[in-house]
Structure 1
């Protein structure tokens, strides 16, 4: 399986970075696997996306440092937000999402469009199945572009992934992209038909279940809509209310889980970077540990290990921390076949709680959705019954209409412990909890970054478009805010 993933990644990289050439034999690579099935391309795109969102690798994903979830024991540059040195984190994330995810999704759609109808199937049934498959691939693409916008701001979109005709793509306005993503979601949900199948193999999240993908689409629409709440209240309210009315994931049974297995190279990325690599690079960070200690949060034993003598103790982000005296990543996070979470009910219920707090009509009260979010998060970690009831009754936890941003912000931060990117979005939108960066490099201006800088390769290769985009967003800096983060 490792060979297959490597071949596909190399093939998609060539597709996205090749120059335009007039020679008709230019792309006639006899060793390239042109006849790769759409299902395999789709599986690879799902895996590459999940790996990027899941991995704790300091070369690829640094959001756990932003959110005070992890601190380092040796290499502290990344935990100080120095991302443009030897690691080039923005370059790696950009390449992973554009090449390994969007590249494979684009190729998957091309293959689906050329597939031949089985003789035993009617044309009408075949057309429905193919439409479902294309819609699901588009959902993965929409999700990926949302991550790119939320990470960088303006990004290549309308001219992206078209190397046959456009070598140096322009950067599209981030809000314009968001608006188009909403329109695409509306189109996708109108296309998906749960009376017909989709992928019979290759879908490692929902096994081709169209009903589950419809719920995913509505939940993604809700997510994009709530991000617009401060910058475009009218569009946000309309988008969120229509998504909620259509049905979103509110229980863990609908969670979007990528199924890793227990064998190399397809095991969980946390396991890969910590256990399989035999590394002691990370300890729990004191911000999240202290907050959960204060609340007597029953998820602590799942999130962290106890130190010698008992209790949970965190290190400090941006400093070199002694591994032996701090809590480590909890064992429940380190199983090789632990599923990766792309979307879950806790996240969605927090969006609904926020929407209700803002006065949107989403079919319930802010308090009910808030409690449901915490309850679903607890259930993911095996915490149920009396422990949940006790936690929800804690005066520092009880939903407060007068202080809803603080309550939702803090509880979403705790619930998103293993999902640093989504936590970062909650933090930027709600400005809670209050997070500091006392050891940050000067480029971060003493703050938790509010975006990733553009890849260095874009500056050198696509310079004029990079310059235009940097000017449009107010400067290519870690402290520049993405368009929806206006508070």
Structure 2
């Protein structure tokens, strides 16, 4: 089956391309129309992992926004310039075209495959649904209102934008249906599922953990749905330990090595140093994870200025571990889920444990994931212990969650926007378009303004302006 590209601009170009009266004009004998669902699934998972993992400033500037990394000789993206490199276009196209487009094509192949029994077909379609929901959430959380209900119809080249607040409940409904369809006793993918190897039980944990993530994002705007979503997910089982993490296992050699390695090593460039914001905080806490996150400079951990042109050899570079070509890319992990549940417990939800228990489990899982000792002593520090750390539950959880999500830029940015912890000052030299603040969304893809202008304009008006400072619906403070 032909791979379909769903990005509106690409479709419009295809529909307005040159034509010919020759009936064989479009019959390219060198291409393959028959692509296995497993291949399409693997391609989608690879693209999703790459987009979520890479520090490439053309694709993923969020480590700058949440002040995990600072730039060296090319500071524009750390100053929130998203236009020069068309960052929004790149991210938009990668998720719509390369992830969702491949997944939709895989669905078509599975539906048309007469050799599949119905239970296997249901499992495979449910797995794809879970990844699609994950991807749509990334898009909503990045842009706000997005094409959703009409987005994946190849016959509609100008899809409308849906209200972001209405997309979340629809995603939860889809997840519930997919989880209902999963059958651990039935067949599933025997290849192509790079994330979980066709492990249906693992996909159930992934799907329920994604429900928790959706629910916790709704907590300040739709608390009833948030609570019911989270409690039902926990009752059915979520990711709580590192052996249940959902990771993309990169290869030690090209072309499938980790994109962090591509930027730190293979590029022969020195574009990133640690941000002073996170280094100073971790120094204050004597956090043992510094030995993994960063390299010492002169026997110390020293962070660069956010938005500055920092000397690579003066400030701490990212840790040596991140130079490994086969470092796994993480899409869901125990640290993340335990922090969500700590917050849920603090809000009074019934999730099988207390806020303190999940808080400590989250930090412990982070230490274990990075292979760092000393978690007991760390948790015993008055500045870290849940009972004595500064602030309310948002402050306690938010600071530790921000530190633990160091290599999860999308999630770190989400949690900073939602909890407003830590307090971040905008980068030095921030562009005027940032309105004097750290960005809380990306502006829409420029291609959408050109090709899908009427719907783009309606969406821009609906969200309160297509600006970096416009809040996503769940970001209420």
Same fold (TM over 0.5): yes
| Distance in 2 separating the partners of 1:354 and 1:68 | 23
**CA-CA distance at 1:107 after TM superposition:** 0.5
| Distance in 2 separating the partners of 1:313 and 1:63 | 20
RMSD: 2.0
**CA-CA distance at 1:14 after TM superposition:** 9.6
| Distance in 2 separating the partners of 1:377 and 1:406 | 18
**CA-CA distance at 1:36 after TM superposition:** 0.9
TM-score (norm 1): 0.93
Q: What per-residue deviation string (whole Å, max 9, x for no partner) do you get for residues 91-135 of structure 1?
A: 1100100011001001111111122327xxxxxxx2111110110
For 1:392, the equivalent position in structure 2 comes to: 379
Q: What per-residue deviation string (whole Å, max 9, x for no partner) do you get for residues 262-313 of structure 1?
A: 11110001001110111101111111111101000010010000112x0100
Q: What per-residue deviation string (whole Å, max 9, x for no partner) do you get for residues 150-189 of structure 1?
A: 00000001111222x2011110111111110000001001
For residues 313-332 of structure 1, what are the structure 2 equivalents within 5 Å?
313-332=302-321
- 2:161, 2:456 within 8 Å by CA — same for their partners in 1? yes
For 2:64, the equivalent position in structure 1 comes to: 65
Distance 1:10 1:337, change over 3 A: farther
Q: What per-residue deviation string (whole Å, max 9, x for no partner) do you get for residues 201-234 of structure 1?
A: 0111110000000000000001001100001111
Which of 356, 367, 389 in structure 2 is aligned with 1:367? 356
Q: Does 1:306 align with 2:305?
A: no
Which of 129, 134, 138 in structure 2 is aligned with 1:138? 129
For 1:3, the equivalent position in structure 2 comes to: none
| Distance in 2 separating the partners of 1:10 and 1:279 | 33
For residues 31-430 of structure 1, what are the structure 2 equivalents within 5 Å?
31-85=30-84, 87-117=85-115, 126-163=117-154, 165-308=155-298, 310-384=299-373, 387-400=374-387, 403-430=392-419
| Distance in 2 separating the partners of 1:16 and 1:312 | 49
| Distance in 2 separating the partners of 1:474 and 1:11 | 27
Q: How many residues align?
A: 469
- 1:261, 1:268 within 8 Å by CA — same for their partners in 2? yes
| Distance in 1 separating the partners of 2:332 and 2:77 | 26
For 1:467, the equivalent position in structure 2 comes to: 457
For 1:431, the equivalent position in structure 2 comes to: 420
| Distance in 2 separating the partners of 1:96 and 1:475 | 24
For residues 21-32 of structure 1, what are the structure 2 equivalents within 5 Å?
28-32=27-31
- 2:4, 2:105 within 8 Å by CA — same for their partners in 1? no
- 1:13, 1:100 within 8 Å by CA — same for their partners in 2? no
Q: What per-residue deviation string (whole Å, max 9, x for no partner) do you get for residues 428-472 of structure 1?
A: 111101111142111111211010000111111111100100010
TM-score (norm 2): 0.95
| Distance in 2 separating the partners of 1:93 and 1:221 | 23
| Distance in 1 separating the partners of 2:129 and 2:327 | 26
- 2:8, 2:452 within 8 Å by CA — same for their partners in 1? no
Q: Report the secondary structure of 2:313's partner residue.
A: helix
| Distance in 1 separating the partners of 2:392 and 2:251 | 42
- 1:70, 1:284 within 8 Å by CA — same for their partners in 2? yes
Greater displacement, 464-473 / 393-402: 393-402
Q: Report the secondary structure of 2:330's partner residue.
A: strand
Greater displacement, 430-439 / 13-22: 13-22
Q: Report the secondary structure of 1:324's partner residue.
A: coil
Q: Report the secondary structure of 1:283's partner residue.
A: strand
| Structure 2 gaps, min length 5 | none
- 2:250, 2:257 within 8 Å by CA — same for their partners in 1? yes
- 1:9, 1:100 within 8 Å by CA — same for their partners in 2? no
For 1:123, the equivalent position in structure 2 comes to: none
Q: What per-residue deviation string (whole Å, max 9, x for no partner) do you get for residues 5-49 of structure 1?
A: xx9798999975555589987865443321111001000000000
| Distance in 1 separating the partners of 2:134 and 2:179 | 14
| Distance in 1 separating the partners of 2:114 and 2:253 | 34
- 1:67, 1:423 within 8 Å by CA — same for their partners in 2? yes
